[in-house]
Amino acid sequence: MVAIIPIPVLADNFIWLIHDGRYAVAVDAGSAEPLLARLEALKLTLSAVLCTHHHADHVGGNAAVAARCPAPVYGPANETIPARTVPLHGGETLTLPGLALSCRALAVPGHTLGHLAYVVETPEETALFCGDTLFAAGCGRVFEGTMAMMWASLSTLRALPETTRVYSGHEYTLSNLRFARVVEPDNAALAAREAAVQALRAAGKPSLPSTLAEERATNPFLRVEVPAVQVAARAHSGLPCETAAETFAALRAWKDGFR
Ligand code: ZN
Ligand code: FE
């Protein structure tokens, strides 16, 4: 059996730990101590670190983890990733050390230029680790790439099987849902999701993972072909919003200024 557990770190980041009771692969070691403590508590041997992108809240623990654990560190080739031993460009298929699970790296530029997502096949599920590209009910800010690049990356992720479970880098779901509800006030699935996530958060539980099916039904950034979303984006931006890419760009700019 393979389990995937969250380690909440920093303000609202997740380190995701994929483990089989003996070996563990960590996704985005943003902070070393909580990860090392969890490995010790669960008596797990760290067999790899997967890095999605170079921001400190995702790789800040790499050096200290690498100093303690002789595990390979995978990460974007064209970004500065501390302690990286295996540079990736996206498009590679790996076998995760220790766990012997298949893992595909996908290039998803936009938030950063080298941003990678990882699709891991466990006996139980297909798991997508998407860092700051796709969030539950939202998406990352476009810092380094272009809006067109980010839209293409989200389209790549949206095309994965709908049962794929989505493991994002941050707990941003409630504030994302607040924006989504303004964009699509009449989406009943969105109202239901907001109630469900409020209950989870009130109980101190993470809102992740979600599924791609849920994201397709409620994430406005994956719904830019839906007429109601286009109408809302057009009304707010004053731009034509005739294509998915234009609507995405208008929606992302709207969210950047949304409080
Ligand atoms: Zn980031
Ligand atoms: Fe981040």
Tell how far the Cα of 132 is from the centroid of ligand 1, in angstroms: 5
Chain centroid to CA 240: 30
Bond from prior residue into 227 cis (ω within 30 degrees of 0)? no
Which ligand lies nearest to the CA atom of residue 57 in the structure? 2
More reliable by pLDDT, 167 or 259:
167
**Token pair in block for residue 117:** 């997502």
The Cα–Cα gap between 182 and 204 comes to 25
Instruction: Give percent of the chain above pLDDT 70.
Output: 100
Query: Which residues touch 15 (CB under 8 Å, ≥6 apart)?
Result: 6, 7, 9, 26, 27, 28, 29, 30, 31, 34, 35, 61
Which ligand lies nearest to the CA atom of residue 169 in the structure? 2
The Cα–Cα gap between 233 and 241 comes to 7
Active-site residue set: 53, 55, 57-58, 111, 132, 170
The Cα–Cα gap between 32 and 84 comes to 15
Residue-level pLDDT at 255: 98
Alpha-carbon torsion 145, 138, 252, 216, what sign?
A: positive
Tell how far the Cα of 113 is from the centroid of ligand 1, in angstroms: 11
The Cα–Cα gap between 48 and 26 comes to 6
Which ligand lies nearest to the CA atom of residue 168 in the structure? 2
Position 187: which residue type?
N
Residue-level pLDDT at 104: 98
Q: pTM of this prediction?
A: 0.98
**pLDDT tens-place string over residues 218-232:** 999 999 999 999 999
Tell how far the Cα of 52 is from the centroid of ligand 2, in angstroms: 10
Tell how far the Cα of 96 is from the centroid of ligand 2, in angstroms: 23
Residue-level pLDDT at 142: 98
Tell how far the Cα of 48 is from the centroid of ligand 1, in angstroms: 20
Position 218: which residue type?
T
**131 confidence band (pLDDT: 50, 70, 90):** very high
**pLDDT tens-place string over residues 27-57:** 999 999 999 999 999 999 999 999 999 999 9
**pLDDT tens-place string over residues 181-205:** 999 999 999 999 999 999 999 999 9
Smallest CA-to-CA distance from 118 within 84, 170, 160 is with: 160
Position 61: which residue type?
G
> Exposed (0-12), middle (13-18) or buried (19+): which is 78, by Cβ within 10 Å?
middle
**Token pair in block for residue 24:** 């563990």
